[in-house]
Amino acid sequence: MDDRSVVGGQWGVGSGLRVVTAGLLLLLGVRLAAAQENGKAAGAATFKAKCVLCHGADGAGNTPLGKQLQAANLRSKEVQKLSDEELHKVVHDGQANMPPFGEQLTDDEISQVIQYVRRFATSAKTAKKQ
Residues ≥6 apart with Cβ < 8 Å to 44 = 116
**Between residues 61 and 23, the one the model is more confident about:** 61
What one-character-per-residue DSSP string does 46-111 give?
HHHHHTHHHH-TTSS--SHHHHHHT---TTSHHHHTS-HHHHHHHHHH-BTTBPP-TTTS-HHHHH
Mean predicted lDDT score pLDDT of the chain: 81
pLDDT-above-90 percentage for the chain = 60
Task: Specify whether the CB–CB gap between 121 and 73 falls below 8 A.
Answer: no
∠ at Cα 67 (62, 73), nearest 5°?
A: 55
Task: Specify whether the CB–CB gap between 74 and 7 falls below 8 A.
Answer: no
pLDDT tens per residue, range 23-45 = 556 555 555 444 455 556 899 99
Has residue 46 got a pLDDT over 90? yes
Q: Tell me how far CA of residue 8 lies from CA of 4, 11, 13, in angstroms.
A: 11, 9, 15
Q: Tell me how far CA of residue 75 lies from CA of 3, 66, 70, 104, 125, in angstroms.
A: 59, 14, 14, 24, 9
Has residue 102 got a pLDDT over 90? yes
What is the rounded average pLDDT of the residues 95-108? Answer: 96
CATH of 13-129, one of 1.10.760.10, 2.70.98.30, 3.40.50.800, 1.20.1050.10: 1.10.760.10
